[in-house]
Amino acid sequence: MKSLALLHASQLVTLAGPKRPRVGKELSELGIIRDGGILIRDGKVDIVGPSDEIEKKSKDAQIIDLDGRVAMPGFVDAHTHLIFGGNRLDDFERRARGETYEQIANAGGGIWSTVEKTRAATEDDLFKTAKKRVDWFRKCGTTTIEAKSGYGLTLEDELKILRVIRRLNEETPLEVVPTFLGAHAVPRESSPKKYVDLLINEMLPRVAKEKLAEFCDVFCERGYFDIEQSRRVLTAAKMLRLKLRGHVDQISNSGGAKLMAELGATTADHLEKTDGEGFAALKKANVQPVLLPGSVYALSSSSYPRAREVIEAGLAVVLATDFNPGSSPTPSMPMVLSLACTQMKMSPTEAISAATINAAYSLNRGDKIGSLESGKLANVAVFDCEDYRELAYWFGIPQTHSVYVRGERI
Ligand SMILES: [Zn+2]
């Protein structure tokens, strides 16, 4: 058995607590141990406690002195679009010049340009670029990434993307959780009705048969998939035993949150325009809200999701990057913490709970990751600061010192 002891963290942020997603005041209880240490055996957390106590029990272990840095569970990023061809630099520049979404789309930009580049890329091309991006996440202290398909929009291209996700899992140290988002947009060569039929009759059964995804997601919005179409796709996915996530109420309050509650989804994501009734429905159905301030920021909008209302409604809030080439080109959870505190008035403690333990539960992994407690995987991020609040306070500066996955430094 291999043992490793990390000693002398100024703050060991354990997130120890009830074995369920945290709500209300629980979001502010981080289980911090000052001058903390952690003994790791066989890739798992054995014990945590004050460093002098851990040191006594670490006779056979390799010792690493964290020298007064902050250590906490690696971030769990529960919403990303990791796999795509090309980038959207031209869109970015046009937006900076003040052009509208319509002007940008007419100039050949927008989601469709990413679909074309993703379709043209080989599986190897996509793997190579995605592998580089996975390393960006590592550099930000993230150890688990949810990743969606959705820039292929044909059976073969969606399978290609999901196979890249599978390969990332096998060939990179981070865990990548696969989500099928075939219902990201209606492809130009199809019609909404024809494409929804294709999703239900061909794509979803194939994805399920090849076990390429754990979750199914839908972009539920006018002009993409309306409530009825979203319900059809998600119901078919549920029958195939996929769990559900959804992009809802981002641009308009279309009843998407209520749909996710009705279907017993695991998460409802975005929620910029959701009303009180929608939040109450999510609460009743135990659906976790995933808030994505990165896209609001990068689109120069000011309509951030109303985190205070979400927390006051008793919901087990999650924060994620929404990493994607069009609206949120950031892999940085510390940047998301900064936005959550400055723009959404979450406290640093609430933001950290939302980015670790609650995010882990939203990926059905709350029993394995998201906190540093006995028996959980030793996924640890060490930061070059003395106080965990510095992660949200200093922005635009990398503070990651080292990252461990299953007890191995990566
Ligand atoms: Zn998204």
Per residue in 24-34, pLDDT (tens digit) is 999 999 999 99
Partners of 324 in the β-ladder: 328
Residue with tokens 């992660």: 391
Question: Would the pLDDT of 337 be above 70?
Answer: yes
How far apart are alpha carbons 319 and 401 in whole angstroms?
Answer: 22
Give 166's DSSP letter.
H
Q: What pTM, to 2 d.p., does this model score?
A: 0.97
Centroid of ligand 1 to alpha carbon of 150 (angstroms) = 10
- Around ion ligand 1, residues with a beta carbon closer than 5 Å are 322
Residues 6 or more apart in contact with residue 18 via CB below 8 angstroms: 26
CA of 80 to the centre of ligand 1 (A): 6
125 CA → ligand 1 middle, Å = 22
Whether the pLDDT of residue 147 is over 70: the answer is yes
Give the C-alpha separation, 319 to 7, whole Å: 29
Side-chain-side CA neighbours of 322 within 13 Å: the count stands at 22
User: Do 219 and 225 touch, CB atoms closer than 8 A?
Assistant: yes
- Using the structure block, give the residue that is written with the tokens 């945290």: 22
Above 80 in pLDDT, residue 1? no
C-alpha 181/C-alpha 183 separation (Å) is 5
pLDDT at 185 over 90: yes
Q: Which amino acid is at 235?
A: T
What is the C-alpha to C-alpha distance for residues 101 and 86, in angstroms, rounded to an integer? 19
**How far is the C-alpha of 61 from the C-alpha of 47, rounded, in Å?**
13
Is-contact 353 59, C-beta < 8 A?
no
214/148 Cα distance (integer angstroms): 10
- Name the nearest CA neighbour of 80 among 322, 298, 244, 292: 322
Query: Cα of 50 to ligand 1 centre, how many Å?
Result: 40
- C-alpha 372 to ligand 1 mean position (Å): 28
> What's residue 135's pLDDT?
97
Q: What distance in angstroms lies between residue 270's CA and the mean position of ligand 1's atoms?
A: 8
Given a cut of 90, is residue 140 above it in pLDDT? Answer: yes
Residue 23 has pLDDT above 70, yes or no: yes
